[in-house]
Amino acid sequence: MRHQSHEVKCSASPQSPTLPPCGFLHYKGIEMPYKDPEQQRAYQKAYRKSHKEEAAAYRESHKEKAAAYAIAYHVAYPGKFNAYMRAQRAARSDEFRARDRAYYRAHRDKKLARAHIYNETHRERGRATTRAWQKANPEKIAAHNLHRRARLAGADGHGYTAAEHIKARWAMWGNRCYICGAPAEATDHVIPLARGGSHWPANLRPICKSCNSRKGARLLHKKRPLTLARSAL
Ligand SMILES: [Zn+2]
């Protein structure tokens, strides 16, 4: 049917100078779809890029049709579009974040109202999310509670010390009670907050519950071997 000798590859796009070679074979003056799927995809991509406004106008004037098509697509390829968007977000995170921020700025009231309605109608879900987060981040909760106590006591350094600092202090003591060497269960203010101790990392050490309750708001006895926990490792 096809006469190879008459086929000529199109080297430039007749439609627009911005398009790559049109991807069609010219056969006796008729444009034939090019057989290479890669090239065809590239052509279609370029076409969509150069006809954005037209496509947007079409979608705008055929909204119901577009919505029905979108639903049909989701039914036919469940999860495909979401996976595509996730990949796009991951690959172009800065671009997406900037776009989200701009959208939020432009529609702040609307966003807040929607979030409020969502939270009202998904209360239990919100609570479950919070609980799950708390369960997954016990060291952050502990740091937050310590920080709160330090703030209320007006301790120095309470605005500085974060969960990572406390983690580092624990690591320095091998995650063991600095008094008896048992596995650590809490963080102690060596000089108690009640005695004007600070919340700087230097005043924080891991402690077990039993030592913690015995120590309370007292200062350690001078004779107690402070290095026991480390030397016992
Ligand atoms: Zn202990």
Q: Does residue 59 form part of some domain? A: no
**142 and 206 both lie in a single domain:** yes
Q: Does residue 129 form part of some domain? A: no
Task: Decide if pLDDT at 188 tops 70.
Answer: yes
Domain at 197, CATH number: 1.10.30
Residue span of the structural domain in which 83 resides: 65-120
**40 and 69 both lie in a single domain:** no
Check residue 183 and report its DSSP letter: B
CA of residue 151 to ligand 1 center, whole Å: 26
CA of residue 188 to ligand 1 center, whole Å: 11
Please state the rounded mean pLDDT for residues 167-180: 96
What letter represents residue 101's amino acid? R
CA of residue 141 to ligand 1 center, whole Å: 21
C-alpha–C-alpha distance, residues 171 and 205, integer Å: 10
CA of residue 160 to ligand 1 center, whole Å: 26
Q: Does residue 133 form part of some domain? A: no
Check residue 184 and report its DSSP letter: P
What letter represents residue 43's amino acid? Y
The whole-number pLDDT of residue 232 equals: 46
**102 and 172 both lie in a single domain:** no
**96 and 173 both lie in a single domain:** no
Check residue 46 and report its DSSP letter: H
Q: Please, which pLDDT band fits residue 28 given cuts at 50, 70 and 90? A: low
The whole-number pLDDT of residue 29 equals: 57
CA of residue 232 to ligand 1 center, whole Å: 12
**149 and 223 both lie in a single domain:** yes
Q: Does residue 56 form part of some domain? A: no
C-alpha–C-alpha distance, residues 159 and 141, integer Å: 16
CA of residue 209 to ligand 1 center, whole Å: 7
**39 and 69 both lie in a single domain:** no
Q: pLDDT tens, 37-85?
A: 788 888 889 999 999 999 889 888 999 998 999 899 999 999 999 999 9
**151 and 116 both lie in a single domain:** no
**Number of residues written out for the chain:** 233
pTM of the model: 0.46
**12 and 76 both lie in a single domain:** no
**34 and 108 both lie in a single domain:** no
Residue 146 CB burial class (10 angstroms; 0-12, 13-18, ≥19): buried
The whole-number pLDDT of residue 77 equals: 92
Q: Does residue 170 form part of some domain? A: yes
CA of residue 220 to ligand 1 center, whole Å: 12
Q: Does residue 225 form part of some domain? A: yes
CA of residue 9 to ligand 1 center, whole Å: 82
**145 and 221 both lie in a single domain:** yes
What letter represents residue 75's amino acid? V
Confirm if 203 and 197 have CB atoms less than 8 A apart.
yes
Q: Does residue 43 form part of some domain? A: yes
Q: Tell me how many domains the chain contains.
A: 3
What letter represents residue 102's amino acid? A
CA of residue 21 to ligand 1 center, whole Å: 76
Confirm if 180 and 211 have CB atoms less than 8 A apart.
yes
Task: Decide if pLDDT at 139 tops 60.
Answer: yes
Please, how many CA atoms are within 13 Å of residue 131, restricted to the half-sphere of its CB? 6
**162 and 95 both lie in a single domain:** no
Q: Which residues surround ligand 1, an ion (CB under 5 A)?
A: 177, 179-180, 182, 208, 211
C-alpha–C-alpha distance, residues 106 and 114, integer Å: 14
**179 and 211 both lie in a single domain:** yes
Confirm if 34 and 25 have CB atoms less than 8 A apart.
yes
CA of residue 185 to ligand 1 center, whole Å: 9
CA of residue 173 to ligand 1 center, whole Å: 12
Q: How many CB atoms neighbour CB 150 within 10 A?
A: 23
